[in-house]
Amino acid sequence: MTVALFHEAGPEAVERAGALIRGPRRRLAELGAALASSS
């Protein structure tokens, strides 16, 4: 996605997209940390 699309979509859409991106990444990081500590 481009910055232009984000500007057209509006700040609430940008925030929602950011949450969708950050959410799974945070869970993956937590899972990775759990696996690293258990091994």
Query: What are the CA-CA distances from residue 4 to residues 7, 8, 24, 26, 29 (Å)?
Result: 5, 6, 25, 26, 30
Domain extent listing, the chain: 3-34
> What is the rounded end-to-end Cα distance, in angstroms, of the chain?
38
- What pTM value is reported for the model? 0.41
Task: List the chain pLDDT tens, one digit each, 39 residues.
Answer: 556 655 676 888 888 888 888 888 888 899 999 999 987
CA distance 35 to 4: 39
Q: So what's the pLDDT on residue 6?
A: 56
